[in-house]
Structure 1
């Protein structure tokens, strides 16, 4: 009851945050994401959607709003569709006023439309592939355990295999043979055609009446063009799906209702069948063979380069949501040609590496909430392969763990290529279940995946830190200050600025007005430059349009500018050196920061434990109240009395355990201690900031320029922990 109420509440919240049901044009899901096409993207409250705990992340991709859910995405999408249908039936859906030009279909690029179509078509196929792949893996497991026998062409029923083996082979083999039929259904469904007719045409194309070896038509080079059933292929079915969807749409538009009722299915099947067997089938077969040959060549690049590139790019492709294209290309090669797949093996290794990075965060972090969320994110992937929960729940928000996972994935992919470990069949999307996909080199495959997993953990543990130190942040800001304000150069900063502007002008990255403005500033300080430079700058002011094109004049001018040395630049050099020394001295602050952080983490961990205890108490109260309310509906007097008792007990009797009081007391002691540490650290940081602020003011006085941005940046860098914990407010404009 409670779960159903929570689901309804979640659906209402999602619909409200995307701009009500009137703003939703289309909704579908892939393996882990709900994908929404909206009329007006600007009214969506993405930030509040991200705050929903059951969502790993929310992002825009290819003009779609993608909500990363993970396991359970199919159920949530189905519930959301049902809810939308109910709401749309209650009112005039067409009355919605669409304001955003950005979201109109004709303003979406062809690339975005293509990627959206790929996701929409292939997304529904993933559960099908997982199911069929697991069946094949189950068959392989039974064969290895000698519970079942492998059926061969020369095998004899009752001698080499039994009825169970035969039926199991039908169950496992038929799925992949029918893969194209499912692809055609998905294509026609997406394009708004008639799926039942599409399924019928798909079944005609895999008809067992046609001999598997095919009926020979003619030859092109080494390729035989034959009429044969289109088993275990996808491309021809997708192209045929597009053709018949538009053919059906044409007939719906131009035929009268009676003619359309009779001729639409007849012509779709007749024209579709002829095109499939005599025209598009052979053409797509050639194209598919060329693509698979190119794919195979890439995967067999020397020194494991092909698989290393797959390992390096696979997780970024998952983030972009375009990995399905390559996944199905690899699957088609595996199934259609029975070629062991290096690609999928490298992708599985990359997934293990990303999960390892998540576990690395778990081991490195001192916060219980981070450890818990990391384990929860990694567990589904470790079992069955998908890494979206790892990427969006932990690694990508923290930044570096995603990169370390990608690096470990590249190394794992490289090992796959070096040792030639390939996938023999499809079993799930990776993880422990994915091990069933290997027939040959199983132990080596397990070892490489575990090495990838271990590398993800180790690299993340070494390089990722929970908090960036003040020193590191300040050093980064100091480098930026030097680059922008030209503090460390021996050439005068204005002369250097003019040199850089002259070079930018050659590349058309700055205007002539900007050059004249800078040269005029230098002319105002004639006492700082020699006569020749002064004369050249004056000439530039008078005849800028011609002289700026004179490369000999520009070279001479740059050479003279490089010789400009000034006392003010020497002062800036000294201030910069002083700022660097102050930044290096921040290592003295580190012990005090660590003491504060240790106490802060302890308090947060206690808060997490206290909240968990209270949640358990609330759950017990809800269960008792629910049982009580059920008993109140009973006509039995004893049940009614018991119901009242349970409701009363749910209100008053259930209290937190003694452990709760103990933790609360411990927290109060820590809060007193952290208050002292906070005051001490705040004073130290204030003193350090005053030193940096003084140096910035000195630069402002020399350059006669407002540098408030850098003052605020140094403040934020020094107080990064306080800002994160909302003890002080950031001074930088967000």
Structure 2
């Protein structure tokens, strides 16, 4: 895909969302281009869908999500940034010809106006905010997860030995992101809530300071004590885990237990919010002359002390309670908790709130590195849950591409299948499965069955961040787990594929008024069942033909919109070259501009001809479609068909 097509798509999307004046802000994630708009009624979804790059659309409150896929979304986003770089009334970085107070007042008024109309808008906004915090952290976790998988594979095949220099280097790569997770969370939270990200890094580093007792080391020592209480022997522990943990306890200041926050999410998240708002508050209070000195000092010291002695211990208990509740749910008998979670996971994805679950999975992975009372590393089952829910949507999308007779649907289906093998479901869900409803539901069913299988066999791994094919690397530490996760992939994919092939694509049904007329006609003519089946089959053929004609009409209409936009773009380019021709006087420049102008005139003429041809096709389809949509014409044709069958 060349840069020109990305630019055309970006321009089309901007026009369709109502222009820059209707955009509050914009961003992108792994697969989606996200526009937060002021007025949803100004967005023309039909125009957006005409782009061949668009795999589907999704709304989350006032946020429009255009599913483009990995590799594409970054390029389109870059083009959007370039187009909007010189435009005003866009709250991406600054607002030209307007004071800061006026801009903030306008944005706040629009936000309140449109969010007040949305039910549970506050909840969706909160979930979106949490997702935006975890989104920048995910690449670091993915890198750690992949390295963890390769390290386990290298140990299995004997390329490196445990405790060797190579093993230590790989351990640095795999453990750093999890050990300093509090730093990453605090940094991202400060950035999200308008604070200085560097202050977030400093506070996060204080939370994992080596002076504080390591939370993970405390957990390992407590697990070792439970192991001994269960009549375990130190020698057995060493055989299982290699080394006996060092004796370590939380610091006590009065009755308050003080520990480090290695691997924690909730404490640095809340402290990041507190610190960001505190910094903004100090900037308003502290005189400007000394603000550069006092504001960071007060923010860092007070936020850290509040976290260390008050919020931190409370939030650690809350975090532990949440983790226990989740582990209890996933541990329900015969794998039902895992099955239920895998079954609803992609339903959460369509809301855009699934990034919040990354924080929960980080906690499960960190907790899984601490041995239980039997000296066993429990690891995390959440990766298998993700895998089951993702690959099942790919199975449903493949079934659609094989069953459908529409070439566009087949293309969308196939383009949605491939990303699911690498852990991305948005193209499959929004491109094919969700618009047809049943395939999406059968995809959820496939995730449920695959999750049930994972829960029954307790398929766990020590990492996160990668799923399906790349995720197999996380299971190379244990070949039983490797076979188990392969089984999860096969079962989830197959269940969704078979269900969708059998029941997922509805046949075109006769309109209700036709059905009533046919039943009345059957009773009047006293048709036997065999004759009636012939009537229905013949009528379905007629209905399918009309449906195909209406589908071609809609395609023609969408193609016309796309060509109209393309013609306008070429016309703008041609006018630009004409202006350059008038303003340039040197012989060399004039020759170059005349040549470019001639080239664009040819493009414009070609675009005009194609546009005119499609106008004619459109008018033809329009007249046919109008005839089809008249119930009396269609009904008469169906009745004539029935009478002809009866006469035979």
Give the structure 1 partner of residue 423 of structure 2: 385
Paired with 1:77 and 1:9, the residues of 2 have a C-alpha distance of 12
Q: 1:393 offset after TM fit, Å?
A: 1.0
In structure 2, the CA distance between the partners of 1:598 and 1:236, relative to structure 1 (3 Å rule), is closer
CA 1:189–1:10 in structure 2 vs 1: closer, same or farther (change >3 Å)? same
What is the correspondence of 1:400-415 to structure 2 with a 5 Å cutoff? 400-415=438-453
Q: Is the 8 A contact 1:19 1:43 kept in 2?
A: yes
Deviation of the 1:180 alpha carbon:
2.2
User: Which whole-Å CA distance do the structure 2 matches of 1:3 and 1:573 have between them?
Assistant: 59
8 A Cα contact 1:188 1:245, kept in partner: yes
CA-to-aligned-CA distance 1:564-623 (integer Å, 9 cap, x gap): xxxxxxx9997899999997664341684599699999x99xx9xxxxxxxxxxxxxxxx
- In 1, are the aligned partners of 2:10 and 2:77 still within 8 Å (CA)? no
1:316 Cα deviation from its structure 2 partner: 1.0
Q: TM-score, normalised by structure 1?
A: 0.63
Distance 1:457 1:257, change over 3 A: same
Counterpart in the other structure of 1:299: 330
Query: Mind listing any 5+ residue stretches in structure 2 that lack a counterpart?
Result: 89-94, 218-247, 370-377, 557-590, 604-627, 643-648
* Cα RMSD (Å): 4.8
- Residue from 481, 488, 492 that aligns with 1:452: 492
Label 1:351 to 1:278 Cα distance change in 2 as closer, same or farther (>3 A). Answer: same
Q: Deviations over 1:390-438 (max 9, x none)?
A: 001111122221111111111111111122212331141x220111222
Query: Residues 34-113 of structure 1: matches in 2 within 5 Å?
Result: 34-71=33-70, 72-81=72-81, 83-88=83-88, 92=98, 102-103=113-114, 109-113=121-125
Partner of 2:156: 144
Aligned positions of 1:18-37 closer than 5 A? 18-37=17-36
Structure 1 residue 268: Cα displacement = 1.4
- State how many pairs are aligned: 535
Equivalent of 1:175 in 168, 177, 188: 177
Aligned match for 1:464, one of 498, 504, 510: 504
SS in 2 for 1:259: helix
Q: Deviations over 1:321-366 (max 9, x none)?
A: 2222234212211124424222331231121111111111122224
Q: Is the 8 A contact 2:346 2:389 kept in 1?
A: yes
Secondary structure of the residue that 1:60 maps to in structure 2?
strand
Which residues of 2 match residues 488-527 of structure 1 at below 5 A? none
Aligned ranges for residues 234-253 of structure 1 at < 5 Å? Answer: 234-253=265-284
Larger Rg computed on CA atoms: 1
Q: Residues 29 and 123 of structure 1 are in contact (CA less than 8 Å); yes or no, is this contact kept in structure 2?
A: no
Structure 1 stretch 300-309 or stretch 580-589: which is displaced more? 580-589
Matched, 1:360 2:399: yes
Cα offset for 1:218?
A: 4.7
1:217 corresponds to 2:272: no
Contact 1:308–1:410, Cα closer than 8 Å, also in 2? yes
Cα distance in 1, alignment partners of residues 360 and 110 from structure 2: 39
TM-score (norm 2): 0.71
Matches of 2:111 and 2:170, distance apart in 1: 54
Aligned to 2:303: 272
**CA drift at 1:298:** 0.4
Does the C-alpha gap of structure 1 residues 332 and 100 become closer, same or farther in structure 2, counting only changes over 3 Å? closer
SS of 1:26's equivalent?
Answer: strand
Secondary structure of the residue that 2:350 maps to in structure 1?
helix
Contact 1:28–1:120 at 8 Å: present in 2 too?
A: no
Query: What is the Cα deviation at residue 87 of structure 1?
Result: 2.3
CA distance in 2, matches of 1:268, 1:100: 29
CA distances 1:212-267 after superposition (whole Å, capped 9, x unpaired): 346633599xxx97433321221111101110011011111121112321111111
Q: 1:119 aligns with which of 131, 140, 160?
A: 131
Alignment equivalent of 2:201, drawn from 195, 199, 202: 199
Task: Write the distance in 1 (CA, Å) between the matches of 2:79 and 2:340.
Answer: 39
- Tell me the secondary structure at the aligned position of residue 240 of structure 1: helix
State the partner residue of 2:538: 589
| Matched residue, 2:433 | 395
The one of 451, 455, 458 equivalent to 1:417 is: 455
Partner of residue 348, structure 1: 387
> Whole-Å Cα distance in 2 between the matches of residues 49 and 39 of structure 1?
18
Residue 471 of structure 2: aligned partner: 434
Give unpaired runs (5+ residues) of structure 1: 156-160, 483-570, 608-639, 653-677, 693-734
Q: After TM superposition, list the pairs within 5 Å mapping 1:608-647 onto structure 2.
A: none
Q: Compared with structure 1, are the counterparts of its residues 58 and 173 closer, same or farther at alpha carbon in structure 2 (3 Å cutoff)? A: same
2-structure distance, mates of 1:79, 1:579: 65
Match in the other structure for 2:190:
188
CA distance in 2, matches of 1:575, 1:180: 77
Deviation readout 1:535-572 (Å, 9 max, x if unpaired): xxxxxxxxxxxxxxxxxxxxxxxxxxxxxxxxxxxx99
TM-aligned CA distance change 1:334 to 1:243, over 3 Å: same
Shift of 1:78: 4.7
Distance 1:683 1:33 in 2: 44
Residues 137 and 427 of structure 1 are in contact (CA less than 8 Å); yes or no, is this contact kept in structure 2? no
SS at the partner of 1:363?
Answer: helix
> How far, CA to CA, are the matches of 2:450 and 2:368 in structure 1?
26
Q: Counterpart in 1 of 2:233?
A: none
